[in-house]
Amino acid sequence: MIKRKIKEWIKRYLPAEIAGTITAVSVAGITHMFYVNPVITAYSGSLGEAIGFYSTIFIQNILIVYKKKKTENIKFSFLNFPKIITNIVLEFGPAGLLDGLFLRPFFMYLFPIYLKNFPLGILVGKIAGDFTFYILVILSYELKQLNKKL
């Protein structure tokens, strides 16, 4: 059971995580070149993470709904977007707000200073943010899955 769940979570979150990591480190690095301000850098890295992560999640959800509609011989339309967005907000909303506004910027601020290595610190801060984020997201995802079964 646990092995199956871990595979499901990896399939669900890994593509978005890869995109989020690339955008977080890239945006933080570019910001650091122009503003040598760790607070601005931390928040821009967090924003970069959110853009990469959530755009990938949005595309994944569009593809899921599109494939489901196709198997049911129903046309996919823009009318499907409110439900897609609602599902994303239910799954990621609380965790995303806590993570994006407080935890991830804090970690991305702290670790470059603590490690005295900017790129490594940003990456470690991003991973620390991921850990706290996924505890909340997986709980939310599993509650949503449980609710579908009821």
Q: How far apart are the first and last CA of the chain?
A: 19
pLDDT of residue 147: 81
pLDDT of residue 114: 94
CA angle 95, 100, 104 (to 5 degrees): 100
10-residue mean pLDDT profile of the chain (150 residues): values are 89 96 94 92 95 97 91 87 92 92 94 93 93 92 82
pLDDT of residue 52: 97
Residue among 46, 70, 14 at smallest CA distance from 125: 46
Contact 58, 88 (CB under 8 A): yes
